[in-house]
């Protein structure tokens, strides 16, 4: 039995046409774009922008967003071609199975767990933190933190966490929604997207009048920029190569790159799209384009309203609210709305991540690489309800009892690895099957995929060593599962 046996393209295309027994095709281009925006615009817009501007790029963080968007576009164009050819749930896992074989497909499927499942858990923990902030800290510490966390209150009393109940609550609600149906989930996601995009546009519109030209001059941080004071009273130096000028802009691009992660989740819904050959490229590239425009405008206004040095001292999550309260006095109420926008952003991100993971599991189970329960569809709703419930248990345990900081950048590594393999897959498929009908074609192959590979690999290498070691350990565990269970139960292997 070959480790690199490929799933025949004819088999994949027949699965895509079998809409009577599989997942329900209910999503149009608009719903797919909304799914993409739902996954992309989260806290990244509100938190990463200030972090990149304050420490590295200054007002030129707008250029950082453009560079990051170009890097994402390379991968997005490759995703769009695959999604139009193979409209199957499973995203990069399915594409790898068709072009590079079963073992590579398993590796990428296992890596996607880092992006979707771990990402959903981490975001739900952050959701809990922002909800508590919105409620003025009224949730007792014990009931919104993990048992591994503790903190002193104002009176000097030490509190220990018991369970993160709000994180568990949002996961329960969104899991039930996903079980009810994809169309219902898409409608709720669309409402959330409208709310958070409206808040972003409102900040851009109202903040534009408060832009000061002096805050955009000089546009890039000069090498002679004086130190800025951090919240703990220590100075922050801009002397380093990556803390000013073009070096700072590139470092800023690396920081804000992860604010774009999520557009690939659109491809997991390919089997539920009404007209995937047309709508999938529109959903992937359309959501990426809309978010890029909003990111650039948002960062332009934010760095125009407040000097970039303020974001070194003003805190992390509170940076946008700080800018509004400090420089836009007439609109102090907007600071609360920004927090609501962040909560809405988190909610849609969790929803799309849970949906994406359950669809990847559904496809892997259909191929025999995971137990049958993951591909069982609800008799009425035709959603992978058992997969959703199992996923809730694992994600819920993590969210309720593990600190969010543990996840680190593992989510990003899983995403970037998927990007790299999808770009490789386009090059391979153009060589092995040049005559295949391609409703959407990635332009300038192999240049665009190669650039995508280089940009994403650079991002992986730039992550801290401990994160890479953790990801390596996760992949080793995945290989043990593959050789212990999946290889023996693979439907493709057993056909040989």
DSSP code at position 273 = B
Query: Is 74 inside a domain boundary?
Result: yes
Please tell me the distance from the alpha carbon of residue 350 to that of residue 48, in angstroms, as a whole number: 18
Sign of CA dihedral 99, 103, 105, 111: negative
Q: Can you give the pLDDT at residue 479?
A: 94
Query: How many distinct structural domains can be found in the chain?
Result: 1
CB 146 within 8 A of CB 400: yes
CB 76 within 8 A of CB 272: no
CA angle 407/357/455 to nearest 5° reads 65
| Residue located via tokens 């897959």 | 425
Q: Flag whether 266 is in a domain.
A: yes
Residue 208 belongs to some domain of the structure: yes
pLDDT the model gives residue 232: 62
CATH of the domain at 329: 1.20.1740.10
**Spatial contact of 38 and 283, defined as CB atoms under 8 Å apart:** no
Which pLDDT value is given to residue 460? 77
Q: Quick check: is 253 in a domain?
A: yes
Assess if residue 202 is contained within a domain: yes
Give pLDDT < 70 ranges for the chain. 1, 13, 15-23, 43-44, 231-232, 258, 314-318, 404-410, 462-465, 496
Residue 264 belongs to what domain range? 9-15+29-127+192-342+408-495
What pLDDT does residue 405 have?
58
286 — phi, psi (to 5°)?
Answer: -65, -45
Q: How far apart are CA 313 and CA 306, in angstroms?
A: 12
Identify the pLDDT of residue 314.
Answer: 63
pLDDT in tens, 44-103: 677 778 888 988 899 999 999 998 898 889 988 998 888 888 877 777 888 888 888 899
Instruction: Specify if 361 maps to a domain.
Output: no
pLDDT at 1: 54
Distance CA 138, CA 13 (A): 53
In a domain, 257, yes or no: yes
The crossing angle, in degrees rounded to 10, of helices 92-99 and 9-17 is 140
**Residue 216, domain member (yes or no):** yes
Nearest to 342 by CA among 45, 14, 69, 26: 45
């Amino acid at each position: 039995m070959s480790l690199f046996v490929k799933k025949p393209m004819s088999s994949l295309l027949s699965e895509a046409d079998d809409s009577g027994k599989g997942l329900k095709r209910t999503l149009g281009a608009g719903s797919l774009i909304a799914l993409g925006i739902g996954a992309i615009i989260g806290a990244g817009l509100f938190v990463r922008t200030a972090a990149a501007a304050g420490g590295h790029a200054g007002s030129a963080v707008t250029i950082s967003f453009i560079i990051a968007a170009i890097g994402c576009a390379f991968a997005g164009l490759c995703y769009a071609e695959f999604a139009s050819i193979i409209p199957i749930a499973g995203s990069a896992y399915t594409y790898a199975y068709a072009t590079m074989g079963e073992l590579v497909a398993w590796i990428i499927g296992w890596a996607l767990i880092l992006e979707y499942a771990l990402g959903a858990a981490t975001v739900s923990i952050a959701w809990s933190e922002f909800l508590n902030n919105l409620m003025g800290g009224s949730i007792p510490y014990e009931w919104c933190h993990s048992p591994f966390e503790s903190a002193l209150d104002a009176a000097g009393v030490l509190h220990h966490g018991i369970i993160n109940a709000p994180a568990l609550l949002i996961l329960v609600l969104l899991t039930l929604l996903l079980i009810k149906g994809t169309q219902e989930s898409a409608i709720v996601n669309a409402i959330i997207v409208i709310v958070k995009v409206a808040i972003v546009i409102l900040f851009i519109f109202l903040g534009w009048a408060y832009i000061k030209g002096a805050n955009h001059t000089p546009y890039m941080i000069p090498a002679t920029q004086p130190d800025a004071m951090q919240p703990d009273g220590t100075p922050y130096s801009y002397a380093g190569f990556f803390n000013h000028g073009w070096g700072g802009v590139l470092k800023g691009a690396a920081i804000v790159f992860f604010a774009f992660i999520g557009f690939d989740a659109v491809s997991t819904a390919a089997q539920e799209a009404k007209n995937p050959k047309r709508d999938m490229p529109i959903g992937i590239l359309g959501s990426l384009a809309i978010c890029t425009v909003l990111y650039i405008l948002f960062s332009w206004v934010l760095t125009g309203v407040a000097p970039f040095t303020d974001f070194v001292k003003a805190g992390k999550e509170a940076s946008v609210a700080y800018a509004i309260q400090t420089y836009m006095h007439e609109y102090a109420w907007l600071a609360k709305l920004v927090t609501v926008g962040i909560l809405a952003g988190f909610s849609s991100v969790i929803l799309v991540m849970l949906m994406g993971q359950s669809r990847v599991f559904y496809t892997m189970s259909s191929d025999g690489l995971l137990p049958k329960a993951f591909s069982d569809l609800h008799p009425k709703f035709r959603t992978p309800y058992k997969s959703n419930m199992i996923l809730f248990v694992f994600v819920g345990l993590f969210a309720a009892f593990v600190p969010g900081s543990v996840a680190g950048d593992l989510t990003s590594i899983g995403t970037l690895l998927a990007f790299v393999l999808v770009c490789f897959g386009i090059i391979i498929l153009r060589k092995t099957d040049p005559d295949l009908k391609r409703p959407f074609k990635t332009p300038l192959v192999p240049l665009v995929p190669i650039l995508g590979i280089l940009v994403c690999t650079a991002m992986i290498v730039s992550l801290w060593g401990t994160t890479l070691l953790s990801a390596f350990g996760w992949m080793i565990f995945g290989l043990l599962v593959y050789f212990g269970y999946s290889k023996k139960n693979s439907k493709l292997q057993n056909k040989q």
